[in-house]
Amino acid sequence: MAKFSAVLVIGLAAIAVHGMPLQKRIAQTISDSTQQWVQACNKAGGGEQCSNVSVTAFSTLLAAAGPCDQQNSADAMIDLAKQLNNDPDMIKLAQIFAQQPRNTPTSQAVPYCQKAPKNTELNGLFQCQFQSADEQTFVGGLAVGSPGTIPSGQSVPVSPPGSCAASPAGPVPDGQQLLDFIQDLSAGTTASA
């Protein structure tokens, strides 16, 4: 009887686990997102400021960051580039950073910032989403069309879902850095850079 009960309990547990919805966290190595920017910043003479801005920036890719934190950090990256003779590589890399997908704790799309950036070089840029993210539901259970599910300055949902200027065909493969994914660094940058 004990064998039968143990088998029954294990079997029922397997069925229960199998029937539970899976919420996979989609993550990346966030420090990789600013490495090339730091190199360009150091080359331009930014020194210690490069690391400070970088750490703040890549921390905004964590799942708990606010919807505008990434854009604010990209603005700070461009502010420093402007202090360093408008370094074009730093500006271009900040534009790519602004589009890097953010970690998602629930495999749902991450809401978009709803305010304009400080620097015009970031106008029209917003983060891509990771490929496995549910593009119909955003973190917090928001349905497409709800506030935060359409980027600032746009009136219709992103098409194709999960895309951005640097990855216009669609979302970025899970965990990948956008810089590794795009072939042309000028892709997804604005004309004012």
pLDDT, tens digit only, all 193 positions of the chain: 555 454 444 444 444 434 444 456 788 999 999 999 999 999 999 999 999 999 999 999 999 999 999 999 999 999 999 999 999 999 999 999 999 999 998 999 999 999 999 999 999 999 999 999 999 999 999 999 999 999 999 999 999 999 999 999 999 999 999 998 786 666 566 544 4
Quick one: pLDDT at residue 45?
98
What is the distance between the alpha carbons of residues 26 and 145, in angstroms, rounded to a whole number?
23
Model pTM score: 0.85
Quick one: pLDDT at residue 189?
61
Enumerate residues 6+ apart whose C-beta is below 8 A from 97. Answer: 33, 34, 37, 57, 70, 73, 74, 77
**What burial letters (b/e) apply to 121-147, b meaning 16+ CB within 10 Å?**
bbebbbbbbbbebbbebbbeebeeeee
